């Protein structure tokens, strides 16, 4: 297939009926123009401007007005002139007869034709934007760009309870920087606190749709903000407006989370079709990045509700698993609420093992949304290679290991990147003193500032250990709790920041009273404090039971804070265990990894780290510097993501 470079923008004007209603089982028809078409609505007419073309000769005669409701008019004299000289080669239509692409050639001879054929261009087809770069002498490299739609329950800074928010807040911008068109669809949460102002820059795009689910038609609206090259789309519905955090409040998880995230998924499937962002829709040839169970209905909807009617034939979905422990499991009877055809029950069907049932008459039947995503997504990603393997094992599979093993061929792990602008010790707005690998003096000052802020004795020489994270079984908080009495006998200080399980919140408050000179437990979610702890501590402890990737150890290394972590998942992949004998005796590694997950092995690793900190200053500084110099940028991770995008598009859709 030949790929082309376009140097001229063509525009033509289409009038079209743009009213849209979310489809129930007969999808509404829509115009899904190919990836680089631009659309805007003026005076009730749809203006289309395309910046890409396909190669060949021909004329405007390719457009057959009689066969669809669209008509093309010339816009003004200049454009008339362009159109006279330019060429329209024809139209692509979907099975419903809707126009999904125009084949145009610009008027002047400004098209360059690349006869280079590569695998991606061969398989991608002409709907993808393809840029060429000329490098070296004769080398020609093609670059495929995609219309990417992230679907996620969190995206920082708009919404965040943990690492999912970090990833979906930063990766989209990096992919946009690589030339992709990127939309992020997430809920518009309002909880009556100052956090609501995060959404102040997003405006109602005046496209209300009715989602057929939960026994009726639920009306949702879309808000939009274009920032950092990304279309941030927020699904608005009263169920996203309530006190508490994103998923629950002090009484526990919200009882209607299945409803709320069903709305998100239906709305996310409609967004590329109905939202004229920047004047033109994404169209149906897009790549959905479906994050965790909250977004898990998206690939099921593509397969069951859209593709049978010819919509999203060329779309692909990639399920990104950030945490397999949360699967969106609800009673089987709730299936009827999800807005899926009955015959798709099997995709979500889930039967609890006998031992997990509540009573003798309990059949254990349930629906499992993440399972539905695993069996319908085109590809599956997790956030580290180690975790990609772990979830195929009985120990790490949370009951889905066999299913995931059966899809091993499309399962990959890519270690998360971090936002190196937000997490930069030389410019971080949340810390009082700045530093870098070349000049670490600011770090010592951050430590004393933190001790002062927390009301701990200011002791520069005393090892300061930190923990930041959700107070959850996953994070191994119970292990810290057991170890604290012993650890507090040592000459150390310990600070914890976290919220979650009230049991551990209460324990942190109590421990602070017991060990007044050594322990601080900050209960709550506080981003500036998390930066100050990361900068001010000497050691960051992460005894996670399992950890798909983990971000805090990456932030810690970047800030010269040495991680001590349980050797699991992404922690094992990213923290290189210190080896004092390697590197001709100068040592190698960026921290300590311990295993098994016991109080004893954790304390042993911590004590080795403390001893190194106290007695081997130069070795310690070398450890800090090696961590600070590691590349955890999203730019590196994005290259791997692009590879997976390419693979996703090479294969036909998994469910056709
Ligand atoms: N009380 C608090 N105050 C301020 N900030 C707080 C905080 N508690 C947590 N955070 C912040 O939330 C983020 C947590 O990220 P993690 O990757 O460690 O965990 P999480 O388990 O949420 O994410 C899941 O998804 C991510 C992303 O893929 C995976 O890395 C991870 O392994 C997986 O469990 C960090 O930015 C951290 O600083």
Judged by DSSP in three states, 382 sits in strand
Do residues 293 and 373 lie in contact, with contact meaning Cβ atoms separated by under 8 Å? yes
User: Ligand 1: distance of its center to the CA of 371 in Å?
Assistant: 23
Q: Which residues pair with 592 in a beta bridge?
A: 564
User: Ligand 1: distance of its center to the CA of 26 in Å?
Assistant: 40
Query: Is the shortest distance between the CB of 170 and ligand 1 below 6 Å?
Result: no
Range name among 192-196, 360-364, 425-429, 563-567 with the lowest pLDDT average? 360-364
pLDDT at 98: 47
Q: Which CATH number fits domain 147-417+639-650: 3.30.310.50, 3.40.50.850, 3.40.50.2000, 1.20.1250.20?
A: 3.40.50.2000
User: Ligand 1: distance of its center to the CA of 61 in Å?
Assistant: 56
User: Ligand 1: distance of its center to the CA of 169 in Å?
Assistant: 13
Which residues, 6 or more positions from 616, have their beta carbon under 8 angstroms from its beta carbon?
Answer: none
Ligand 1 atom with the shortest distance to the CA of 160: 12
Query: Is the shortest distance between the CB of 527 and ligand 1 below 6 Å?
Result: yes
Query: Is the shortest distance between the CB of 534 and ligand 1 below 6 Å?
Result: no
Do residues 423 and 558 lie in contact, with contact meaning Cβ atoms separated by under 8 Å? yes
Residue having the nearest C-alpha atom to atom 30 of ligand 1: 550
User: Ligand 1: distance of its center to the CA of 471 in Å?
Assistant: 11
Query: Is the shortest distance between the CB of 430 and ligand 1 below 6 Å?
Result: no
Query: Is the shortest distance between the CB of 392 and ligand 1 below 6 Å?
Result: no
Q: At what angle do helices 477-487 and 599-615 cross, to 10 degrees?
A: 50
Do residues 221 and 211 lie in contact, with contact meaning Cβ atoms separated by under 8 Å? no
Residue 77 has pLDDT above 90, yes or no: no
From residue 380, how far is each of 57, 373, 491, 634, 645 by CA, in Å? 41, 9, 46, 19, 11
For residue 534, give the nearest of 626, 468, 456 by alpha carbon.
Answer: 468
52 vs 414: CA distance, rounded Å: 31
Residue having the nearest C-alpha atom to atom 19 of ligand 1: 163
Backbone angles phi, psi at 84, to 5 degrees: -60, -40
Distance linking the first and last C-alpha atoms of the chain: 24
* Element spanning 4, H or E: strand 3-5
User: Ligand 1: distance of its center to the CA of 552 in Å?
Assistant: 7
Do residues 371 and 400 lie in contact, with contact meaning Cβ atoms separated by under 8 Å? yes
Backbone angles phi, psi at 93, to 5 degrees: -125, 155
Give the angle subtended at the CA of 530 by the CAs of 529 and 532, to the nearest 5°: 60
pLDDT at 32: 29
Name the residue of 195, 551, 565, 574 whose CB sits within 8 Å of the most ligand 1 atoms, as the mutation to test its pocket: 551
Do residues 370 and 292 lie in contact, with contact meaning Cβ atoms separated by under 8 Å? yes
b/e per residue 64-76 (b: at least 16 CB within 10 A)? eeeebebebebbe
Which residues, 6 or more positions from 649, have their beta carbon under 8 angstroms from its beta carbon?
Answer: 120, 123, 124, 128, 144, 146, 287, 316
pLDDT at 611: 97
Ligand 1 atom with the shortest distance to the CA of 534: 38
Which residues, 6 or more positions from 579, have their beta carbon under 8 angstroms from its beta carbon?
Answer: 587, 588, 589
Residue having the nearest C-alpha atom to atom 20 of ligand 1: 163
Residue having the nearest C-alpha atom to atom 11 of ligand 1: 162
Query: Is the shortest distance between the CB of 86 and ligand 1 below 6 Å?
Result: no
Ligand 1 atom with the shortest distance to the CA of 569: 32
Ligand 1 atom with the shortest distance to the CA of 161: 12
pLDDT digits over 454-497, tens only? 999 999 999 999 999 999 999 999 999 999 999 999 999 999 99
Alpha-carbon dihedral angle through residues 244, 223, 233, 499, given to the nearest 10 degrees? -10
Range name among 291-305, 359-373, 604-618 with the lowest pLDDT average? 359-373
Judged by DSSP in three states, 210 sits in strand
Which residues, 6 or more positions from 98, have their beta carbon under 8 angstroms from its beta carbon?
Answer: 29, 30, 31, 32, 68
Backbone angles phi, psi at 593, to 5 degrees: -115, 130
235 vs 257: CA distance, rounded Å: 14
Ligand 1 atom with the shortest distance to the CA of 320: 28
Query: Is the shortest distance between the CB of 163 and ligand 1 below 6 Å?
Result: yes
Please give the structure tokens belonging to residue 209. Answer: 């749709």
Do residues 588 and 601 lie in contact, with contact meaning Cβ atoms separated by under 8 Å? no
Query: Is the shortest distance between the CB of 323 and ligand 1 below 6 Å?
Result: yes
Residue 54 has pLDDT above 50, yes or no: no
User: Ligand 1: distance of its center to the CA of 163 in Å?
Assistant: 4
Query: Is the shortest distance between the CB of 551 and ligand 1 below 6 Å?
Result: yes
**DSSP category for residue 171:** H
* Mean pLDDT over the full length of the chain: 83
Do residues 383 and 368 lie in contact, with contact meaning Cβ atoms separated by under 8 Å? no
Which residues, 6 or more positions from 43, have their beta carbon under 8 angstroms from its beta carbon?
Answer: none
Query: Is the shortest distance between the CB of 213 and ligand 1 below 6 Å?
Result: no
545 vs 102: CA distance, rounded Å: 53
204 vs 574: CA distance, rounded Å: 41
* DSSP annotation string for 391-452: TTSTTTSTT-HHHHHHTGGGEEE----B-TTTS-TTT-TTSSS---SS-THHHHHHHHHHHH
Residue 10 has pLDDT above 70, yes or no: no
Do residues 306 and 655 lie in contact, with contact meaning Cβ atoms separated by under 8 Å? no
- Listed in sequence order, the DSSP H helices in 29-160 are 77-85, 119-124
pTM > 0.95 = no
**Which residue reads 């007869």 in tokens?**
97
Omega of the bond leading into 574 within 30 degrees of 0 (cis): no
Give the angle subtended at the CA of 366 by the CAs of 363 and 368, to the nearest 5°: 150
User: Ligand 1: distance of its center to the CA of 271 in Å?
Assistant: 28
Q: Mean per-residue pLDDT for 22-35?
A: 35
533 vs 553: CA distance, rounded Å: 12
Query: Is the shortest distance between the CB of 372 and ligand 1 below 6 Å?
Result: no
Whether the predicted interface score ipTM is above 0.95: yes
pLDDT at 586: 77
Query: Is the shortest distance between the CB of 416 and ligand 1 below 6 Å?
Result: yes
pLDDT digits over 106-142, tens only? 344 333 333 333 333 333 333 333 333 444 444 444 5
Omega of the bond leading into 596 within 30 degrees of 0 (cis): yes
HSE-CB at 587 with a 13 A cutoff on CA atoms is 22
- CATH superfamily of the 440-630 domain: Glycogen Phosphorylase B; (3.40.50.2000)
Ligand 1 atom with the shortest distance to the CA of 527: 4
Residue having the nearest C-alpha atom to atom 22 of ligand 1: 162
Do residues 266 and 305 lie in contact, with contact meaning Cβ atoms separated by under 8 Å? no
pLDDT at 359: 86
More confident residue, 305 or 25: 305
Please give the structure tokens belonging to residue 136. Answer: 């070296």
Query: Is the shortest distance between the CB of 547 and ligand 1 below 6 Å?
Result: yes
Query: Is the shortest distance between the CB of 497 and ligand 1 below 6 Å?
Result: yes
pLDDT at 355: 82
Query: Is the shortest distance between the CB of 169 and ligand 1 below 6 Å?
Result: no
From residue 103, how far is each of 52, 121, 142, 540 by CA, in Å? 9, 17, 20, 56
User: Ligand 1: distance of its center to the CA of 464 in Å?
Assistant: 21
Name the residue of 155, 160, 162, 320 whose CB sits within 8 Å of the most ligand 1 atoms, as the mutation to test its pocket: 162
- What percentage of the chain reaches a pLDDT higher than 90? 74
Ligand 1 atom with the shortest distance to the CA of 167: 27
* DSSP annotation string for 267-325: HHHHHHHH--BTTB---S--EEEEETGGGTHHHHHIIIIIGGGTTTSS-EEEEEES-TT
User: Ligand 1: distance of its center to the CA of 81 in Å?
Assistant: 56
User: Ligand 1: distance of its center to the CA of 285 in Å?
Assistant: 32
b/e per residue 230-263 (b: at least 16 CB within 10 A)? bbbbbbbbebbeeebbbbeeeeeebeebbbbbbb
HSE-CB at 290 with a 13 A cutoff on CA atoms is 35
Omega of the bond leading into 218 within 30 degrees of 0 (cis): no
- Indicate the domain borders of the chain: 147-417+639-650, 440-630
- What percentage of the chain reaches a pLDDT higher than 70? 78
pLDDT at 3: 32
pLDDT at 142: 54
470 vs 451: CA distance, rounded Å: 22
Domain 147-417+639-650 and domain 440-630, same fold? Reply is yes
Range name among 17-31, 411-425, 538-552, 626-640 with the lowest pLDDT average? 17-31
For residue 196, give the nearest of 150, 254, 241, 252 by alpha carbon.
Answer: 241
Query: Is the shortest distance between the CB of 533 and ligand 1 below 6 Å?
Result: no
pLDDT at 363: 85
């Amino acid at each position: 297939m030949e790929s082309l470079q376009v140097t001229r923008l063509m525009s033509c004007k289409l009038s079209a009926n743009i009213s849209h209603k979310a489809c129930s089982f007969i999808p509404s028809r829509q115009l899904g123009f190919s990836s680089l078409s631009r659309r805007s609505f003026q005076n009730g007419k749809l203006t289309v401007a395309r910046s890409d073309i396909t190669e060949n000769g021909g004329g405007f005669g390719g457009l057959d007005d009689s066969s669809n409701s669209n008509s093309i008019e010339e816009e003004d004299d200049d454009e008339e002139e362009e159109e006279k000289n330019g060429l329209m080669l024809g139209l692509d239509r979907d099975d419903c007869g809707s126009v999904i692409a125009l084949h145009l050639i610009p008027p002047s001879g400004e098209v360059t034709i690349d006869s280079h054929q590569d695998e991606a261009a061969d398989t991608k087809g002409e709907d993808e934007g393809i840029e060429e770069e000329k490098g070296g002498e004769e080398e020609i490299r093609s670059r495929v760009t995609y219309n990417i739609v992230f679907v996620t329950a969190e995206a920082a800074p708009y919404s965040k309870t943990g690492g999912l928010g970090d990833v979906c807040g930063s990766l989209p911008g990096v992919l946009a920087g690589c030339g992709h068109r990127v939309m992020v669809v997430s809920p518009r949460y309002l909880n009556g606190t100052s956090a609501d102002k995060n959404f102040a820059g997003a405006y109602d795009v005046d496209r209300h749709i009715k989602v057929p689910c939960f026994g009726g038609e639920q009306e949702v609206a879309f808000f939009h903000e274009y920032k950092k090259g990304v279309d941030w789309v927020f699904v608005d519905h009263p169920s996203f407006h309530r006190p508490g955090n994103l998923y629950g409040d002090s009484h526990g998880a919200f009882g209607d989370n299945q409803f709320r995230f069903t709305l998100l998924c239906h709305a996310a499937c409609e967004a590329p079709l109905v939202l004229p962002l920047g004047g033109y829709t994404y169209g149906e040839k897009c790549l959905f990045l479906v994050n965790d169970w909250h977004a898990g209905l998206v690939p099921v909807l593509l397969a069951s509700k859209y593709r049978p009617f010819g919509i999203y034939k060329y779309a692909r979905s990639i399920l990104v698993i950030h945490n397999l422990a949360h699967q969106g499991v609800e009673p089987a009877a709730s299936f009827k609420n999800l807005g899926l055809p009955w015959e798709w029950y099997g995709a979500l069907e889930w039967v609890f093992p006998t031992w997990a049932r509540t009573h003798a008459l309990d059949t254990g039947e349930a629906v499992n949304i993440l399972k539905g995503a695993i069996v319908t997504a085109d590809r599956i990603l997790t956030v580290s290679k180690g975790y990609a393997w772990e979830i195929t094992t009985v120990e790490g599979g949370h009951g889905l290991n066999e299913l995931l093993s059966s899809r091993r061929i499309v399962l990959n792990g890519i270690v998360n990147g971090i936002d190196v602008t937000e997490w930069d010790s030389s410019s971080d707005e949340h810390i009082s003193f700045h530093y870098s690998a070349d000049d670490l003096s600011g770090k010592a000052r951050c430590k004393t500032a933190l001790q002062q802020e927390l009301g701990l004795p200011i002791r520069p020489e005393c090892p300061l250990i930190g923990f930041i994270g959700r107070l959850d079984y996953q994070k191994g908080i119970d292990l810290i709790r057991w170890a604290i009495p012993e650890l507090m006998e040592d000459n150390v200080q310990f600070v914890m920041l976290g919220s979650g399980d009230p049991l551990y919140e209460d324990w942190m408050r109590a421990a602070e009273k017991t060990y007044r000179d050594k322990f601080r437990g900050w209960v709550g979610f506080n981003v500036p404090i998390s930066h100050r702890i990361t900068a001010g501590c000497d050691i960051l402890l992460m005894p996670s039971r399992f950890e798909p990737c983990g971000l805090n150890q990456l932030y810690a290394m970047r800030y010269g804070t040495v991680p001590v972590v349980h050797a699991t998942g992404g922690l094992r992949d990213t923290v290189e265990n210190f080896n004092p004998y390697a590197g001709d005796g100068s040592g190698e590694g960026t921290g300590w990894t311990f295993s098994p997950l016991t109080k004893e092995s954790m304390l042993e690793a911590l004590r080795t780290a403390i001893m190194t900190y106290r007695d081997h200053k130069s070795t310690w500084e070398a450890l800090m510097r090696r961590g600070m110099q590691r590349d955890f940028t999203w730019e590196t991770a994005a290259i791997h993501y692009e590879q997976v995008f390419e693979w996703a598009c090479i294969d036909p859709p998994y469910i056709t």
